[in-house]
Chain A
Amino acid sequence: MSNWALILYCGLITYLTRFSMIALIKKEMFNDRIREILSFVPSAIFPAIIFPAIFINDKGLFEIDDNPKILAAIIAMVIGIFSRSIIATIFSGLASYWFLIFVV
């Protein structure tokens, strides 16, 4: 598949998830139970991107020794829990990562 087709299909599926509920679904078709489960979608899917990006290196191998990303991610998480700020979380993580690879 060409890059352009890939972009178009990804755009289409993104748009359809937004449009389908507004246009087609009536409120009563969505019960509280389904709503409750859907509220866990971010917690269920984002770690699947976060964890491998931290623990798996460029060669596809699990890496736990000598991996500054682990400590930097933990610092970012702690800052995030206390500050509840998206921007503080990102920048504290990047700053500690740079500190660990360039200074330490």
Chain B
Amino acid sequence: MKSSFKVFLKGIIDVSPLMIPVVPFGLIFGVLAIDIGFTPIETMAMSLIIFGGASQIVLLQLFSGGASSLVIISSVGAVNSRHLLYGAVVSEHLSDLKLIWKIIISYFLIDQAFAISNEYLKKNKNNNRYFHLVGGGATCWVIWQSTTFLGIILGAAIPEKLGLSFAVPLTFLALLVNDFRKFINVIVIIISGLVATFGYNYIPFKAYVIVAALAGLFTAMILTSKNRKV
């Protein structure tokens, strides 16, 4: 059996290519949070406590738009519902672990670590294979915290004229690059986008993120059920 440290290192090596886009994402988060009016300590705490790029950017976006706390928290929950899928998929590999390890691993169950460790967990059956997920997650943690910190420092130096807030939709657009080729996904993307844009001023409490996401999921449900019957 490979040593746990080697499996941990393998996780670090495997996740590294996926860390390149995390760098600008973290910087943008740090810069925007300061720009919106969070203190440096609050901004750092967000990255440490939440440790989720999409969640944190949604928090900023809705906070700056004047949404209520309840709407912000439920929107963050909606954005995170994809983690339910990750958890369900990896849980079969972690079922024998002690609770303390489950508690630790949950903190590191992020998009990038899931993407690479899911492959590894499927192919390897060694008992310490979960160290791969910890290695990937820990790598992302270090990158995310340090780029947030850099963003906080740079925040004051970056002129508003650059329109860096435009990097937010671009970052999310980039996360969908693999979905633009799938027909049902494209329909879901268009429906959700239209509902959010036209509901922006009419859906109360800035709940447009949740309403649009539900509309998109409902569309996916209808389109995939038709597919199945054919």
Contact = CB atoms under 8 A, between A and B. Distances in A.
B197 to A, nearest CB: 5
Contact of A47 (B20, B174, B189): B189
Contacts of B169: 49-51, 53-54, 69, 73
Interface residues of B, number: 93
B10 to A, nearest CB: 21
Contacts, number: 265
Interface of B: 20-21, 24, 38, 42, 45-46, 49-52, 54-59, 61, 63, 69, 72-73, 76-92, 94-95, 99, 102-103, 105-107, 109, 162-163, 165-181, 184-185, 188-190, 192-198, 200-201, 208-209, 212-217, 219-221, 224
Given A19-B103, A87-B24, 18 more contacts: A5-B69, A6-B63, A6-B72, A18-B86, A21-B85, A22-B106, A25-B87, A25-B91, A26-B95, A42-B179, A44-B215, A44-B219, A47-B188, A49-B172, A50-B173, A80-B180, A84-B178, A93-B167
16 contacts: A4-B45, A14-B83, A22-B87, A22-B106, A37-B221, A40-B184, A50-B172, A51-B193, A51-B196, A52-B196, A80-B180, A86-B21, A86-B177, A90-B24, A93-B170, A94-B166
